[in-house]
Homo-oligomer: A and B are copies of this chain.
Amino acid sequence: MKNIDTLLKSANADAYILYANSNDPDMRYISGFNVSDPLLCIKCAGKRPALIVPQMEKERAAAESACDVLTRGEIGFFEYYEEFKDGFKAQAKMTADYVAENGIEGRDGSAGGEKPTVLVPENFPIVFARELENYCTLTVDRGGMGKIRSVKTADETAKIRACQAVNERALAFAVNVIKTAPADNGELRIPVGMSGEGDPLTSDVLRGLIECFFLKNGCVAEETIVSCGAETAMPHNIGHGVLCENEPIVLDIFPRDTKTGYYSDMTRTVLRGEASRELVKLYDTVAAGKKLGESMIRAGVKGCDVHNAVLKYFEDSGYHTETEGFIHSLGHGVGLAIHEQPSLSPSGGELAQGHIVTVEPGLYYKDIGGVRLEDMGLVTADGFDLFTKFEEKLIL
Contact = CB atoms under 8 A, between A and B. Distances in A.
A273 interface: no
Given A56-B328, A208-B215, A216-B208, A142 B122 contact: no
Interface stretch (A163-171, A181-189, A230-238): A230-238
How many copies of this chain?
Answer: 2
A59 B129 CA distance: 36
Interface residues of A, number: 45
Interface string A82-95: 00000010000000
Nearest to A38: B123
A289 to B, nearest CB: 17
Given A122-B126, A126-B122, A140-B130, A37 B339 contact: yes
B234 A60 contact: yes
A55 B220 CA distance: 29
Contacts of A237: 60
Contacts of A215: 208, 211-212, 215
Contacts of A88: 122
A125 B122 contact: yes
Interface string A309-343: 00000000000000100011000000000110000
Nearest to A34: B223
Interface in A55-84: 55-57, 59-60
Contacts of A124: 125-127
Interface in A23-43: 23, 35-37
A113 to B, nearest CB: 25
A382 interface: no
A188 B122 CA distance: 48
Nearest to A327: B56
A373 interface: no
Q: Across chains A and B, which 10 residue pairs bring their CB atoms closest together, nearest first?
A: A122-B127, A212-B212, A123-B125, A124-B126, A126-B129, A208-B215, A56-B327, A211-B215, A127-B140, A56-B235
